[in-house]
């Protein structure tokens, strides 16, 4: 337990050997370190000083959270980072989803490795002003499961914060796992003294997702993290008619492809239809969706991002949705949400003043 580190064989919800309840709380019952923790001298964690020194060069820290997995949180984190970097900000993206690190894939960095320098761990760079850190760079095999208890996860998050040399950053985007688990408590605890600007929460429109988002909002309020806003992702499937596949059901229920027939008919008889965008509700939003929830909970609503197959493809290929015109349905909405964040928090003006 050198430097107050949580031992690897500790119980899952270990409060840490420096905590006043160490060795005494319910979480300590049956732990092989219980007696040692109970009698160990208490004091401030020296690693927090090292974290504060590292984070002193980071101007803004943004957490990206979700109540459930699979709502597009990591996609939003990746595209937020791409967008900020395209605005010439210095950006870092830290992936603390230890068991499901998808950020390397979404930024086209699969197979990359972390390098050590005399200043610490070096992030993997997409561009000169966009660096990334993830456990995904540390796994010998991408298919290997990370089966870690809470203390070991917390130890890696602490290591990312105190050992990674980001240099001067305008924004550090932290992609957290879904829910409100040990990783969330750790990142807030470690960054609290250095200042967290707030959290963006990503959800889908249906109540089964919003139920858990309410818990996420409650978590933020309890730990003193401002909710910068909520993004409703996958808010209806939207794409050009020409991108759809058309089919006709046969008598035995099989699909017969008639896409070319339909498109040919439109070209000949209704060419104006070729530029029409078709939208369909995928998730039930009859309960008011994220807009209603934000009104009820008193947090900002940032906007709705449609379920755009082209955005999904951009994430699969590890590229920015803003780099070309392919994501014509989703990219303008994402850009509007990011602009709203910059304006609401006056980040652009503040950072311009710093550089002048």
Residue 327 counted as an annotated binding residue: no
User: In whole angstroms, what is the distance from residue 259 CA to residue 275 CA?
Assistant: 16
Residue 67 counted as an annotated binding residue: yes
∠ CA 57-62-66, rounded to 5°: 155
Residue 99 counted as an annotated binding residue: no
Residue 285 counted as an annotated binding residue: no
Residue 74 counted as an annotated binding residue: yes
Residue 229 counted as an annotated binding residue: no
Residue 313 counted as an annotated binding residue: no
- Is the four-CA dihedral 100, 105, 106, 109 of positive or negative sign? positive
Residue 37 counted as an annotated binding residue: yes
Residue 92 counted as an annotated binding residue: no
Residue 120 counted as an annotated binding residue: no
Residue 294 counted as an annotated binding residue: no
Residue 321 counted as an annotated binding residue: no
**Where is the binding site for ATP, in residues?**
67-74
**Where is the binding site, in residues?**
14, 28, 31, 37, 67-74
**Where is the binding site for [4Fe-4S] cluster, in residues?**
14, 28, 31, 37
């Amino acid at each position: 337990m050198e430097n107050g580190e949580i031992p690897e064989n500790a119980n899952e919800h270990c409060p840490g050997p420096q905590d006043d309840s160490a060795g005494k709380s319910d979480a300590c019952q049956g732990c092989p370190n219980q007696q040692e923790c109970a009698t160990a001298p208490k004091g401030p964690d020296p690693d927090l000083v090292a974290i504060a020194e590292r984070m002193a060069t980071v101007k803004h820290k943004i957490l990206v959270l979700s109540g459930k997995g699979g709502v597009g949180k990591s996609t939003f984190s990746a595209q937020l980072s791409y967008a900020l970097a395209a605005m010439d900000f210095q950006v870092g993206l830290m992936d603390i989803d230890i068991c499901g690190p998808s950020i390397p894939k979404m930024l086209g960095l699969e197979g990359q490795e972390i390098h050590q320098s005399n200043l610490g761990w070096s992030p993997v760079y997409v561009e000169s002003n966009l660096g990334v850190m993830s456990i995904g760079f540390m796994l010998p095999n991408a298919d290997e499961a990370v089966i870690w208890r809470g203390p070991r996860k917390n130890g890696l998050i602490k290591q990312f914060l105190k050992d990674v040399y980001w240099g001067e950053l305008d924004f550090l985007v932290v992609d957290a796992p879904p829910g409100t688990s040990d990783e969330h408590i750790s990142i807030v605890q470690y960054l609290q003294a250095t200042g967290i600007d707030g959290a963006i929460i990503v959800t889908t429109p249906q109540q089964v997702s919003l139920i858990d988002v309410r818990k996420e909002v409650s978590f933020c309020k309890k730990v003193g993290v401002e909710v910068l806003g909520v993004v409703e992702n996958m808010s209806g499937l939207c794409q050009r008619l020409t991108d759809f596949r058309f089919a006709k059901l046969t008598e035995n229920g099989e699909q017969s492809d008639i896409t070319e027939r339909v498109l040919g008919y439109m070209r000949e008889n209704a060419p104006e239809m070729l530029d029409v965008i078709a939208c369909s509700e995928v998730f039930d939003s009859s309960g008011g969706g994220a807009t209603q929830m934000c009104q009820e909970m008193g947090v900002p609503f940032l906007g709705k991002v449609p379920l755009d197959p082209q955005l999904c493809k951009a994430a699969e290929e590890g590229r920015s949705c803003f780099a070309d015109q392919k994501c014509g349905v989703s990219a303008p909405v994402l850009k509007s949400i990011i602009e709203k964040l910059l304006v609401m928090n006056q980040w652009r003006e503040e950072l311009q003043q710093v550089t002048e």
